[in-house]
Amino acid sequence: MTEMVHDTIEVEAPLREVYDQWTQFEEFPRFMDGVEEVRQLDDRLCHWRTKIAGATREFDTEIVDQLPDERIAWRTVGGDVKQKGVVTFERVDDAHTRVQLSMEVEPSGITERAAKALGVLENRIEGDLRRFKHYIEEREHATGGWRGRLRPGDSAGGSTPADPATPTDDIPPYGMATPPSEDMPRRDGPPYDRPM
């Protein structure tokens, strides 16, 4: 049985800075609990290594929809970890941004089912957003950024499932907004093959 969780936080930083920092996936271990490594394989795929409640997992995620300054949606591909989610970004004013993270996770194994019963995932997401807020606010600027557009129909797995990771109605479904220009720059920040 899947578990759906979401949380929202307001960050004291401009929308562009907040979005740009979130696109730096290899920085996630600096503020995400249990994430030991994220390797950017290409614009769409990342390889993750996590250790949560004593269980180590390695898996790949695919970005299925990415619209600058609005949202990034992903899903796992292959492996025994099953999750999908979306993070949305909303301008509050010139100096504040609202970030909402929603995930749908299918616990596998006794440890993860026990963690679900204890509300561990909700606490982790809340803590991750709080640490992300401190991470970007202390820096006062993003460590990099990628402004490219990734569309659901172009995903490596073919068509996007009809039921996207939008556990609440107030999160826009994939592909709803008008896409920006196709002439977007490539992702800044560390090269994909950088040794960790």
Q: Which of 109, 123, 110, 117 is CA-nearest to residue 81?
A: 109
Q: How many CB atoms lie within 10 A of CB 26?
A: 19
Residue 89 has pLDDT above 80, yes or no: yes
At residue 180, the pLDDT reads: 36
Q: Which residue has the higher pLDDT, 189 or 133?
A: 133
What's the mean pLDDT in 130-137? 97
What is the C-alpha separation between 51 and 37, in angstroms, rounded?
A: 10
**pLDDT > 50? residue 170:** no
pLDDT at 157 over 60: no
- Provide the whole-model pTM: 0.76
Average pLDDT of the segment spanning 43-69: 92
Mean pLDDT of the chain: 79
Q: Which amino acid is at 173?
A: P
What are the beta bridge partners of residue 98? 10, 90
3-class secondary structure, 9: strand
